[in-house]
Structure 1
Amino acid sequence: MKFGPFTKLAKAGVLGMNSRNLDFIAAYNPRRLYPLVDDKIITKQLAIEAGVTVPELYGVIRYGGEVHLIEEIAKVHKSFVVKPSRGSGGGGIMVFNGVAKTGLRRMNGQITPWPDIKYHLNNMLSGMFSMGDGSDRVMIEERLVPHSAFSKLAFGGVPDVRVIVFRGIPVMAMLRLPTAESDGKANLHQGGVGAGIDLITGVTTRGVQHNDAIDMHPDFETPVRDFQVPAWPEIMELASRLGHHVGLGYVGVDIVICENKGPTLLELNARPGIAIQTANLRGLRPLLLPIHALKDIPDDVETRIEIAKANWKGEPLDRFFAPGETV
């Protein structure tokens, strides 16, 4: 592989969009496998096959004549999430935590009337919030309850951990925290907070919002650095196992640390963004190239995590090469 031209940022180790797209996504992610991650219903089944915990699926709405099903589901499950199966960037997602006579209660306490909910469902079915052209399906699934450790770090929503996995080996991670500005969503482009994570310890190192460094969560005035992410070894294992299983060489694995279920897969992303470098104040390129140089990747998840930790510390990966193999 010949990598793209080295700009000033590239020389500093920063992975740019063009290099990400050409050298890693195009080179390592066969397009035939994109549906495995672009469609969340397919992703859920793939994760179950890999032995990964996922949110329970309460129902799927496939066409306009089925939008009434949400009322039936609401009678059984008072709290749930509604999302387009092929949505991206958090578009179209609605979170409910209660039922009223006139509609469903949002996380901010407001009631959304049934006609407005059904109108929104039809927009999701039309593909308004989805990748590509054409219609979509609507998923209604369990609302995950975040680990209690996040009580002063997540405003009105569920935080998650994004792990970049390259050839089945975790290379970088960040904690994404919802804010009032982001309307309880953990998406950075909507105003969420990103916190870099030390890959060895699972402790946050710094925080950013809108690419600006911050020390405190904007809503709680709680430090966003030096926070121990719960269940870090399990998160690393889940990310490595699923990243290896899905068949895509370069993938973002988004994980929620649930109070009752532990680390739970939220979704996979075949085109993960590069803002994770800003959150970590560290470039991806020097972490990706040594793993690119490995001829073979071990099937054993423990060994892959050993490689991840050695790579994060900047140690040579010679001991992981086959005899006679060179970088």
Structure 2
Amino acid sequence: MLNLIKTWKELSAKGIMGINRRNADFVLKLNRRDLYPVVDDKILTKERAIAAGIHVPELYGIIETEKEAQKLGEILANHKDFVIKPAQGAGGDGIIVIADRYEGRYKSVSGKIIGHEELEHHISSILSGLYSLGGHRDRVLIEYRVTPDPIFKSISYEGVPDIRIIVLMGYPVMAMLRLPTRQSGGKANLHQGAIGVGVDLATGLTLKGTWLNNKITKHPDTATEVSGVQLPDWDGFMKLAAGCYELCGLGYIGVDMVLDQDKGPLILELNARPGLNIQIANDAGLTTRANIVEAHLAELAKKGITETPEERMRFAQEHFGHITQAE
């Protein structure tokens, strides 16, 4: 017990945020419950983003009832590849990614052949709430399938890598690249075995990696170094993340984005309860950075100043870049 207390004191001294601190001082304090549907429902998030001119994967169709499932063929008529996902799903569960068509059937990214009836059955399961938060009835969205930028080919296994940026009151405070592995089944989900790689906020250069809560230097499937990779259009990602504060109104969020080879940075979803493993990947504490943002906001309040998303992005890059400032 004494060793645990000592360890926690050491972590706290380094500015590491624990789950109790996250929940009490940030999630509960800064995220109004009545705004949660905006981030918990991917369709609402997408509709808000589109209205705000923020780039998201194109929406092909929405299915809300079993009867509407009959129009699946019509929705998919002009698309050989697409994604089917629950509007209120979490952790990547319930998502089917189709890469091509084959002999009147569909081929998933893993090569599995799926019939039309099987897709309809899956949609029925989504509608029943099988994958939704709390098990409530859900809706189905069918959207554009992201094609990862070629830069990820050597450091990812199947699937689509994504980038999460933690945003506090509109200020990006920490970023992580999540890379699918064989163990994660091609999903960019750390709890299922994906890799988390820290990203320098100032430059978009990848830092250290973490896999199954252990620090790593190479991808377990490709044996390629995960650090030192320059993410393209990094300012584009930072601007998107900073602008999500106005989009949803929540003060503490995780913004999940992807880099499409043709369309550039796109927002996938927002998370009102982002995990804390991002600190391991960055070898830095969220508490330290949160304190800096809160002090900055207090100074701005005294002067009656409100910063734009681009100004918030620049502040974050100046104060939280590993290259511009040692942690």
Q: 1:239 aligns with which of 228, 238, 241?
A: 241
Q: Could you say which residue in structure 2 is the equivalent of 1:107?
A: 109
Secondary structure of the corresponding residue to residue 34 of structure 1: helix
Q: Could you say which residue in structure 2 is the equivalent of 1:298?
A: 306
Q: Could you say which residue in structure 2 is the equivalent of 1:198?
A: 200
Equivalent-residue separation in structure 1 for 2:291 and 2:70 (angstroms): 51
Q: Could you say which residue in structure 2 is the equivalent of 1:282?
A: 284
Letter in structure 1 aligned against 2:319: N
Q: Could you say which residue in structure 1 is the equivalent of 2:210?
A: 208
Matched, 1:180 2:182: yes
Q: 1:154 aligns with which of 156, 163, 172?
A: 156
Matched, 1:35 2:37: yes
How big is each residue's C-alpha offset from its partner over 1:102-149, in whole Å with a ceiling of 9 and x where there is no partner? Answer: 531111111023332222211110111111242000000000111111
Letter in structure 1 aligned against 2:233: A
Q: Could you say which residue in structure 2 is the equivalent of 1:54?
A: 56
Compute the TM-score of the two structures, normalised by the length of structure 2.
Answer: 0.91
Equivalent-residue separation in structure 1 for 2:292 and 2:122 (angstroms): 46
Letter in structure 2 aligned against 1:81: V
The correspondence of residues 251-270 of structure 1 with structure 2, limited to 5 A, is: 251-270=253-272
How big is each residue's C-alpha offset from its partner over 1:20-51, in whole Å with a ceiling of 9 and x where there is no partner? Answer: 01100000000111011111111011112222
The correspondence of residues 159-170 of structure 1 with structure 2, limited to 5 A, is: 159-170=161-172
Q: Could you say which residue in structure 2 is the equivalent of 1:121?
A: 123
Q: Could you say which residue in structure 1 is the equivalent of 2:95?
A: 93
**Retained in 2: the 8 A contact 1:165–1:172?**
yes
User: In angstroms, what is the RMSD of aligned CA positions?
Assistant: 1.9
More deviation, 5-14/52-61: 5-14
Equivalent-residue separation in structure 2 for 1:298 and 1:310 (angstroms): 18
Instruction: Say how many residue pairs are matched.
Output: 312
Equivalent-residue separation in structure 2 for 1:41 and 1:245 (angstroms): 14
Secondary structure of the corresponding residue to residue 171 of structure 1: strand
Equivalent-residue separation in structure 2 for 1:74 and 1:247 (angstroms): 34
Equivalent-residue separation in structure 2 for 1:77 and 1:313 (angstroms): 41
Structure 1 residue 245, shift from structure 2 partner:
3.2
Equivalent-residue separation in structure 1 for 2:321 and 2:138 (angstroms): 43
Structure 1 residue 309, shift from structure 2 partner:
2.0
Structure 1 residue 259, shift from structure 2 partner:
0.8
Letter in structure 1 aligned against 2:189: N
Equivalent-residue separation in structure 2 for 1:237 and 1:94 (angstroms): 29
Which has a greater percent of helix?
A: 2
Secondary structure of the corresponding residue to residue 239 of structure 1: helix
**Retained in 2: the 8 A contact 1:84–1:92?**
yes
Q: 1:308 aligns with which of 297, 304, 316?
A: 316
Equivalent-residue separation in structure 2 for 1:282 and 1:247 (angstroms): 26
* Distance 1:101-1:65 versus aligned 2 partners, 3 A rule: farther
**Retained in 1: the 8 A contact 2:165–2:255?**
yes
More deviation, 288-297/165-174: 288-297
Equivalent-residue separation in structure 1 for 2:62 and 2:262 (angstroms): 24
Letter in structure 1 aligned against 2:129: G
More deviation, 5-14/259-268: 5-14
Compute the TM-score of the two structures, normalised by the length of structure 1.
Answer: 0.91
Secondary structure of the corresponding residue to residue 13 of structure 1: coil
What stretches of structure 1 of length at least 5 have no aligned partner?
317-327
Equivalent-residue separation in structure 2 for 1:99 and 1:302 (angstroms): 42
**Retained in 2: the 8 A contact 1:74–1:99?**
no
Equivalent-residue separation in structure 1 for 2:245 and 2:55 (angstroms): 14
More deviation, 80-89/295-304: 295-304
Secondary structure of the corresponding residue to residue 152 of structure 1: helix
**Retained in 1: the 8 A contact 2:88–2:132?**
yes
**Retained in 2: the 8 A contact 1:243–1:253?**
no
**Retained in 2: the 8 A contact 1:298–1:304?**
no
Equivalent-residue separation in structure 1 for 2:264 and 2:142 (angstroms): 21
Structure 1 residue 97, shift from structure 2 partner:
1.1
Secondary structure of the corresponding residue to residue 134 of structure 2: coil
More deviation, 96-105/164-173: 96-105
Q: Could you say which residue in structure 2 is the equivalent of 1:64?
A: 66
Q: Could you say which residue in structure 1 is the equivalent of 2:24?
A: 22
Sequence identity, in percent?
Answer: 46
* Distance 1:115-1:15 versus aligned 2 partners, 3 A rule: same
What stretches of structure 2 of length at least 5 have no aligned partner?
none
Equivalent-residue separation in structure 2 for 1:11 and 1:25 (angstroms): 22
Equivalent-residue separation in structure 2 for 1:232 and 1:149 (angstroms): 13
**Retained in 1: the 8 A contact 2:203–2:321?**
no
**Retained in 1: the 8 A contact 2:242–2:310?**
no
The correspondence of residues 71-90 of structure 1 with structure 2, limited to 5 A, is: 71-90=73-92
